[in-house]
């Protein structure tokens, strides 16, 4: 089983910074991509940033220039550096990984999406 643990959320003032971390562990054959989604109360979950194992990055228009996503392949960890935070950035942030698990000792399974438990980010004065 693949398990994600994320951390780094908290309460910050507008203009402040936070760094989110998410580490994948378990029976992982390989990781295709990792990313961050956020969900505000009463709204749909939206993609914030993603990164592939080949270091291709994608950002939501609302965070471009302020957020930076990165990956440590050796540690199976993705980070989201969030600068110049705005109240509109408030929400529960979820880590996502597209990974290929081991189904047994010798067999790789099919790619599957896994989700972290979420970490709350609140931007308020």
In angstroms, the CA 13 to CA 16 distance is: 6
Residue 76's pLDDT is 94
Residue 106's pLDDT is 84
Intervals of the chain under pLDDT 50: none
Residue 9's pLDDT is 98
Q: Where are the beta strands (DSSP E) in the chain?
A: 2-7, 10-12, 18-26, 28-39, 46-52, 57-59, 67-72, 77-82, 91-101, 112-115, 119-123
Record the tokens describing residue 88, joined without a space.
């509109």
Distances (CA, A) of 88 to 10, 77, 95: 15, 26, 19
Residue 85's pLDDT is 98
CB 18, CB 85: distance < 8 Å: yes
Q: Note the pLDDT tens digit of each residue in 49-64.
A: 999 999 999 999 999 9
In angstroms, the CA 76 to CA 42 distance is: 32
Q: Partners of 103 in the beta sheet?
A: none
């Amino acid at each position: 089983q693949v398990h994600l643990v994320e951390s780094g959320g908290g309460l910050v003032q507008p203009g402040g910074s936070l760094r989110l971390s998410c580490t994948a562990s378990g029976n992982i054959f390989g990781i295709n991509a990792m990313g961050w989604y956020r969900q505000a109360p009463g709204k749909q979950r939206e993609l914030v940033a993603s990164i592939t194992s080949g270091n291709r990055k994608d950002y939501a228009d609302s965070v471009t220039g302020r957020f930076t996503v990165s990956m440590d392949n050796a540690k199976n960890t993705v980070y989201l550096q969030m600068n110049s935070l705005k109240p509109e950035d408030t929400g529960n942030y979820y880590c996502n990984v597209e990974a290929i698990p081991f189904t047994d000792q010798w067999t790789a399974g099919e790619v599957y999406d896994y989700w972290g438990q979420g970490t709350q980010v609140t931007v308020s004065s």
